[in-house]
Amino acid sequence: MIESREALATMFSAKGSKVNTNRGAEYYDSLMKTMTKRLEELEKSPAATKTSIKSVLEAEGLTRRDFMKWASAACAALMLPSNFTPLIAKAAELMNRIPVIWIELQDCAGNSEAILRSDAPTIDELILETISLEFHETLMAAAGHQAETHLDEAMETFKGKYLCVVEGAIPLAMDGLYGTIGAKAETFKDHLLRVAKDSAAVVAVGTCATFGGVPAASPNPTGAVGVQDVVRGKAIINIPACPANPANITGTILHFVLSGQIPELDHLNRPKFAFGYRIHDNCERRAHFDAGEFVEEWGDQGAQNNFCLYKMGCKGPMTYNNCSIVRYNSGTNWPIGAGHGCIGCSEPQFWDKYAQERPMSDTHFKAPGGGVEKTVDEFGLGILTVAGIGIGIHAAASVIAGNKEGDK
């Protein structure tokens, strides 16, 4: 286990991946064929629920036009050309062929809460509703034995077909006894293995389920790890962030319906459509970074003028996620919009590396695994270190950062 954590750390300090948004007509033609075939097959298979997105939309008073607007946005989010939009719409209608079993482990329910608030006009949420959340502790009506029986039944009925969505980390210390569930006091680890076993794929949602997150922060008292450190021999998709953006969860499931495969992933098993860019690349305050205009302390003139938050510890340059485009709560706002820097919540071990209100260069952070203070150079990515040397040479730093991206 320790090896795999270190392997992660090594992977993380490797060069970032960039998404290729135009792969040429040949690629998309063949993709279109594969997806069409997949959807035809899906259509023949029995539905997990008889509710279809169509009937739900009708019940909600949403028009076909609203739906197509959503499909077009989802198509763009998945980085597919616009002629895929009808396929996306079709896939959404067939989503009830793919049941979802959602389990909560060492969590704070933040990701479930985020789903409850997913995008207006509620289509993402409706879809999740339609695809039959077979087991979701925070919301379900049944409790105790009835809840457990229901889980067993759903697993049997949809053997090999359901997606297992996991929220929360898995404590492995003390034989996994830091977390138990059910009348037989099954450990979270055994619970996860049992539910993951007959699933089609496992989707780890939130940074706790992906990389261990909060409980795994130094000194990791319960030996918490992410799903990929426990489940073997299954396709695993990581959708980190604290909490994960609901749009990315729906996008991933949609992709699975479309292709029968998991979306293209980066070296940390994150879907590239969502984690292919840095916060910094599309930040609304980026021009101020380039112009060397920074907030120097909370509430100063710079803050009143929405200057760049880098010197207040913003980790947007180190963080791969689409917050700056998708934002939160139906696009209402996002942390940088509210004047606070990014804390890097979609990156492994961000609590120990990034979640401070000071730039990496002058922070005293708690080094993972021990009390020794380490320098930024030992941890940081090349780009960040360069930027961290001094904001006085910010323009130079920007150029270098640009080169790094280019020389991939």
Partner 1 sequence: MATKHIIVDPITRIEGHLRIEAVIDENNVITDAFASSTMFRGIETILKGRDPRDAGLLAMRICGVCTGTHYQRSIEAVEDAFKLTIPKNARLVRNLIQGALYVHDHVVHFYHLHALDWVDITGALKADPKLAAAEALKWCDTPHGAGEGDLRAIQERVGKFVKQGRLGIFSNAYWGNKNYKLTPEQNLIAVAHYLQALDMQRDMAKMMAIFGGKMPHPQSLVVGGITCVQDIQNPARIAEYKSLLNKARNFVKNAYLVDVLMAGTVYADEALDGTGAGLKNFMSYGDFKLDDTGFYNASQLFPSGVVLNGDLSKLYPLDQTKITEDVSHAWYEGASDKGLHPYDGVTNPKYTGLEKKEDGYAYLKTKEKYSWIKSPLYDDTRMEVGPLARLVVGLAAGDANFTKYATGFLTKLGKTLGLPTAAPASVIFSTVGRTAARAIETELMADVMMGWVDELAANVASGDVSTWREFDFDKVSKNARGFGMAEAPRGGLGHWIVIKDGKIENYQTVVPSTWNAAPRDYKDRKGAYESALVGTKVANPEQPLEILRTVHSFDPCIACAVHIVDTKGKELSSFKVNTSCAV
> According to CB under 8 A, which residues from 305 to 344 bind partner 1?
306, 327-330, 332-340, 343
Query: Interaction with partner 1 in 251-290: which residues (CB under 8 A)?
Result: none
Distance, in Å, from the CA atom of 5 to the CA atom of 265, rounded to the nearest integer, reads 19
Q: Which of 48, 88, 195, 209 binds partner 1 (CB under 8 A)?
A: 48
Left (φ > 0), alpha (ψ -120 to 50) or beta: where does 250 sit?
alpha
DSSP 349: T
Kindly tell me which of 65 and 364 has the beta carbon lying closer to partner 1. 364
Residue 139 CB neighbours (<10 A) = 12
> Based on CB atoms, which residue is closest to partner 1, 364 or 408?
364
Q: How far is the CB of 381 from partner 1 (least distance, A)?
A: 20
The residue range among 20-28, 55-63, 231-239, 261-269 that interacts with partner 1, by the rule CB under 8 A, is 55-63
CB of 20 to partner 1, least distance (A): 30
Contacts of partner 1 in 206-225 (CB under 8 A) = 213-225
- Report residue 379 as tokens: 């941890």
Question: How many of the chain's residues bind partner 1 (CB under 8 A)?
Answer: 106
Spatial distance between the Cα atoms of 305 and 139, rounded to a whole number of angstroms: 42
**Other C-beta atoms lying within 10 Å of the C-beta of residue 51:** 16
Name the minimum Å distance from CB 214 to partner 1: 4
Least distance to partner 1, CB of residue 73, Å: 18
Which of 85/222 has CB closer to partner 1? 222
112 lines the binding site for partner 1 (CB under 8 A): yes
CB of 140 to partner 1, least distance (A): 4
175 lines the binding site for partner 1 (CB under 8 A):
yes
Q: Supply φ then ψ for residue 233, to 5 degrees.
A: 70, 25
Half-sphere exposure at residue 340, Cβ-oriented, CA atoms within 13 angstroms? 9
**Which of 31, 73, 109, 393 is the binder for partner 1 (CB under 8 A)?**
109
Q: Decide: is 87 part of the binding site for partner 1 (CB under 8 A).
A: no
Which of the stretches 76-84, 113-121, 232-240, 249-257 binds partner 1 when contact is defined by CB under 8 A? 113-121
Three-state DSSP at 330 gives coil
User: Does the footprint of partner 1 cover residue 294 (CB under 8 A)?
Assistant: no
| Min separation Cβ 36 and partner 1, Å | 28
Q: Does 49 bind partner 1 (CB under 8 A)?
A: yes
Q: For residues 234 and 232, what is the distance between their CA atoms, to the nearest angstrom?
A: 6
Q: How many whole angstroms separate alpha carbon 208 and alpha carbon 169? A: 5
For residue 144, count CB atoms less than 10 angstroms from its CB and return exposed for 0-12, middle for 13-18, buried for 19 or more. Answer: exposed
Nearest distance, CB of residue 21 and partner 1, angstroms: 26
Question: Could you give the string, one character per residue 181-200, with x where binding to partner 1 holds by CB under 8 A and - elsewhere?
Answer: xxxxx--x------------
Q: How far is the CB of 328 from partner 1 (least distance, A)?
A: 4
366 near partner 1 (CB under 8 A): yes
Strands (E), 220-323: 224-225, 236-239
C-beta of 116 vs 396, nearer to partner 1? 116
Closest CA to 27 of 35, 15, 38, 37: 35
Among 248, 241, 320, which Cα is nearest to 14's? 320
H runs (alpha helix) in 48-165:
53-60, 64-77, 85-93, 110-116, 123-130, 144-157
Tokens encoding 349: 């071990």
Residue 84 or 328 having the CB closest to partner 1: 328
> Contact 196/154 with Cβ under 8 angstroms?
no
